[in-house]
A and B are shown apart, each in its own frame.
Chain A
Amino acid sequence: QKEVEQDPGPLSVPEGAIVSLNCTYSNSAFQYFMWYRQYSRKGPELLMYTYSSGNKEDGRFTAQVDKSSKYISLFIRDSQPSDSATYLCAIPSGGSYIPTFGRGTSLIVHP
């Protein structure tokens, strides 16, 4: 079993929809959880990160962690065509904090 699992999609939604992107992980010791966004032909950029369980909100984006289920989610409200990108979950581990990345979910928001 891979440490971080993510459905590659693609996920296609109409503009204005609420999007739910998810990852599962195997190591219960993980404490930090990160979401990156990668536009086509660009490097990933950090969207937001959370520590331990609970929710964190930043504008239209909400990151949620459920440590009991080893499940993390990123919700996008009022999705826009400009949100079309690949979203990668990443979980840093060990003393070096090198993230293990999920495969990424391709999101397409159509007008």
Chain B
Amino acid sequence: EAGVTQSPTHLIKTRGQQATLRCSPISGHTSVYWYQQALGLGLQFLLWYDEGEERNRGNFPPRFSGRQFPNYSSELNVNALELEDSALYLCASRIRTGRLYEQYFGPGTRLTVT
């Protein structure tokens, strides 16, 4: 079974530009989560999509947005890039394990803003 995939692996943009990151969940998973992992800050929750709808949003400005497509893949868009947006962006899909939801992470997209 294929895991969560993300593209591109690396992305280099200049300040003020827009970045688009893509994620495909594990087959059969309908939920997609996006996280930002900046150096020294740990994983910060960005967005949660389920069944095509945005279900929850972390404490990030509106220039971070996304969508989920009918095939459950997802896109994260970051507008008006700032230097501090440089980070590893991780996507995860989930499955219920007993009373919990287990998240499966992709390898991430490394975004560098210069």
Chain A residues near B (Cβ < 8 Å): 6, 8, 32, 34, 41-46, 49, 51, 88, 90, 92, 96-104
Nearest Cβ in chain B — how far from A8, in angstroms? Answer: 7
Contacts of A49 in B (CB 8 A): 100
A103 to B104, CA, bound (A): 18
**Number of A-B residue pairs having CB atoms within 8 Å of each other in the complex:** 51
Whether B108 lies near A43 (C-beta < 8 A) is: yes
Check A88 against B43 for contact (C-beta < 8 Å).
yes
Point out residues on B near A: beta carbons under 8 Å.
4, 33, 35, 40-45, 48, 55-56, 90, 92, 99-108
Q: Is the CB of B48 within 8 A of A45?
A: no
Chain B residue with the shortest CB-CB distance to A96? B56
Measured CB to CB, the closest approach of chain A to B66, in angstroms, equals: 15
Q: Which residues of A contact B41 (CB under 8 A)?
A: 103
Hey, which chain A residues are within 8 Å of B101, CB to CB? 92, 97
The answer to whether B45 touches A32 (Cβ under 8 A) is no
